[in-house]
Amino acid sequence: MNAKPAITVGGLSFEWDLANGRFLFEGQESVLFWTSTAMKMFFDSIEEISGEDAANVVLESTGYRQGLIVGGYFQNMEGVSAAEASQLITNTYASAGWGLAEIKELDVEARTLEVHLKNSWEHTINVAQEKKEGGSFLPAHYAGIFSSLFNENIWYKVVHHQLDGYEESVIQYFPSEETIQKNIHRLSRVKEEEKINELERLVDEKTQELSEMIKEISSPLIPVLEGIVVVPLLGTYDEARAEELLVKTLQNMPKHKAKYLILDLTGLNTNFTHHAAMLIEKLGSTASLIGTQTILVGISAKMSQTITEATINLSKFECFQTLQHGIHYALAQNGRSII
C-alpha cells in the first residue's frame, strides 16, 4: 500500500502522509472536518462562550486575517496579475470544499468587485445552526484576500445571503476605511455601554428598594399605650422626607385613636436644623386639627438655642427632657399613671 497517496484535482495537488498522519493541500499542511457536525460544534462553542455578537466579530476578524495570508500567497506569485489571481483563488477554494465562488465586476483600477458564493461551508454550518442571518467569515475573508492583492484596505457589503432564500450569496467589495480593528473597538464600546446600562439599572433598582425600606423604617409611628403614639425623629429631613413623615403620621394616627403625639427629638441632636424645626411646628399644628395634642421630648440645650435662633415658636407644645417624662405627662392628663 502506498504510504503517501496523492492526486491532482483541477490542477491542485492533494497528498496524504498516512505514516505521519498528515494531509497536504498544495504542499501545505491542512486538515479536514465534517462541516455540518464538527465545524458546527466549533461555531456553536464560540457563540456559547463569547455570545453571538462577539462570536460574529471573532469570525469576521479571523476570516479577514486569514484572507490577508491567502492574498499574500497569490500576490507573491511571479507574473500573476490580480485578475489572474482571482481566478486561481476560486478554483483553489472550490477544490478545497469551500463552495463555488465567482469573481464578477472586477475593476482593478477602482479596486471594486463582487463575489458570488454558492454552497459554501459557512452556509452549510449556518443551515445546520438554523440561523436566520448568514455568517461573516467568508465575506470578510475575501475582503482580506483582495486587501493583499490590491495593497489597499478593502471592505465588504453583503447584498444578500444564500440563507435568505437566494441561489447564491452576493457580496460587494470596495476601498474603505472600515477595518476589523474598528469593529472590535465598536463591539467593546457596545459591551461597555451594555454593562454600564445594566449597572445603572441595578443601581436604580437598589436605590428604589432602599428608598422604600427607608420609608418603612424612617420615623415610625409607635403606639406605646392606649391613645399615645411616639414618633422618633432620626437623621436629616429634606423636603421629600419631611413630607413623607407628615403624611404617614397623620394617616396613621386615627387608626390608633391617638390623643397624644409624642415627638422624640433625641435623634436630631446632631442634625437639628431650621428645616427640622419647621417640620416639628407643622406636624404639631396639623395634628392639633384632628384633636391630637403634641408633646416634645429629648430637646437638648444646643437644640433649644437653634430653635430660638430660628424664631419658630414651639412653646405651644408641652416639652420634656426624656421620653419617659412625656409618657407620664400624657397618662396624667387622663388621670392614669404607671405603677
The answer to whether residues 226 and 194 touch, using CB atoms and an 8 Å cutoff, is no
Q: Treating both helix axes as pointing N-terminal to C-terminal, what angle do 40-50 and 52-75 enclose, rounded to 10 degrees?
A: 130
Tens-place pLDDT, residues 62-77: 999 999 998 888 888 8
E strand spans, the chain: 6-9, 12-17, 22-25, 28-30, 100-107, 112-118, 154-160, 169-175, 222-225, 228-232, 260-264, 293-297, 318-320
Domains and CATH numbers, the chain: 33-189 (3.30.1380.20), 219-332 (3.30.750.24)
The predicted model scores a pTM of 0.56
Is the pLDDT confidence value at 156 over 70? yes
How far apart CA 115 and CA 103 sit, in angstroms, is: 5
The answer to whether residues 99 and 120 touch, using CB atoms and an 8 Å cutoff, is yes
**CB neighbours (10 Å) of residue 277?**
22
Question: pLDDT grade, residue 181 (50/70/90)?
Answer: confident
Is the pLDDT confidence value at 158 over 90? yes
The answer to whether residues 268 and 233 touch, using CB atoms and an 8 Å cutoff, is yes
**Residue appearing with cell numbers 494531509:** 23
* pLDDT over 90 percentage in the chain: 28
Q: How much is the pLDDT for 192?
A: 65
How far apart CA 145 and CA 139 sit, in angstroms, is: 10
How far apart CA 311 and CA 309 sit, in angstroms, is: 5
Q: Transcribe 46-70 into DSSP letters.
A: HHHHH-HHHHHHHHHHHHHHHHHHH
Q: How much is the pLDDT for 214?
A: 59
Is residue 334 classed as helix, strand or coil in its secondary structure? coil
The answer to whether residues 282 and 248 touch, using CB atoms and an 8 Å cutoff, is no
Question: pLDDT grade, residue 213 (50/70/90)?
Answer: low
How far apart CA 309 and CA 277 sit, in angstroms, is: 11
Question: pLDDT grade, residue 255 (50/70/90)?
Answer: confident
Is the pLDDT confidence value at 338 over 70? no
